[in-house]
Amino acid sequence: MSGPGITRCGSTVFRWGARTYVMGIVNLSPESFSGDGLADSRAAVEQALRFVEEGTDILDVGGESTRPGSSPISAREEAARVLPVIERLAGQVSVPISIDSYKSEVVAQALDAGASIINDQWGLKKDPALAELAAARGVPIILMSNQRDTGGYDARAGRDTAFYQDVLREVTRSLQRSVEAALGAGVPGESIIVDPGLGFGKTWQQDIEIVRRLTELKVLGRPILIGPSRKSMIKMVLDLPAKDRVEGTAAAVTIGIANGADIVRVHDVRQMVRVCRMADAIVRG
């Protein structure tokens, strides 16, 4: 594959390298680690509309917590959380809506409701049918590297861990397998976005290393998404609760952009839009 080029998502065209795109997190999981989970669909819609006003480029709607140790919920419950929000937003916003789920049953319904991007936190490991769904519906798919099923999670301690020595080598290999699976299912290369999966089966030190060495992921030839927002690596460095990690997030976002990030997935949209604009002015000219 050559360079990232462009990715089409309905009427939206992402021109990779021109600027950094911001993905705003709309979290419908009360169990969220970040403290931003919303149980009320009306509040979630209001938050999403505010994000659009603040400059977000993508709305990422999810209904299941990814916090270490959290219990999975049924596809039925997850759909009940996200579908009303996606349906309401689809008629009110012009930015693409992403469905943050690894269950094809949920994703199919979300696409019917108006979502136009698939965000798979398991990189097709849990449900390979997501690739076929992306190909059939003609929508982009985000493939994340998740090590929680390969020794990257300590269930007894309830925290992410790791046993491999070179985290970037592991992440790159994982993403390469996911990309090849998506291509094999008929997803066009230009519709694939990769995410190294900060906080998913890596130690906080390895998360920092990923941001530092992010440029190495360019070998995959696909646009890169990172999600450092409020993550535990910021907690460990600054010793702050989730709600007070905006400056730490800004630092990680800035370094990520300098090292090749094309999309940043964040909770604090207003602040991070400004951070991205300033970083782009310096990094991209």
Using CA atoms, how far apart are residues 226 and 56, in angstroms rounded to an integer?
A: 15
* Contact (Cβ atoms closer than 8 angstroms) between residue 217 and residue 198: no
Token digits for 11? 């009427």
**169 has catalytic annotation:** no
DSSP string, 101-147: -S-HHHHHHHHHHT--EEEETTTTSS-THHHHHHHHHT--EEEE---
DSSP for residue 16? B
Instruction: Tell me the residue type at 120.
Output: D
Please report which helix (H) or strand (E) contains residue 225, including its range.
strand 225-226
Question: Catalytic residue among 126, 265, 274, 284, which?
Answer: 265
Question: Catalytic residue among 231, 235, 274, 284, which?
Answer: 231
Instruction: Map residue 43 onto helix, strand or coil.
Output: helix
Buried b (16+ CB within 10 A) or exposed e, 262-271: bbbbbbbbbb
Instruction: Tell me the residue type at 64.
Output: E
Using CA atoms, how far apart are residues 260 and 154, in angstroms rounded to an integer?
A: 31
- Partners of 160 in the β-ladder: 153
Task: Please list, in sequence order, all residues whose beta carbon lies within 8 angstroms of the beta carbon of residue 251, skipping any fewer than 6 positions away.
Answer: none
Half-sphere exposure of 168 (CA within 13 A, CB side): 13
Instruction: Tell me the residue type at 216.
Output: E
**265 has catalytic annotation:** yes
Q: Nearest 5°: phi and psi at 226?
A: -125, 150
Residues classed as catalytic: 231, 265
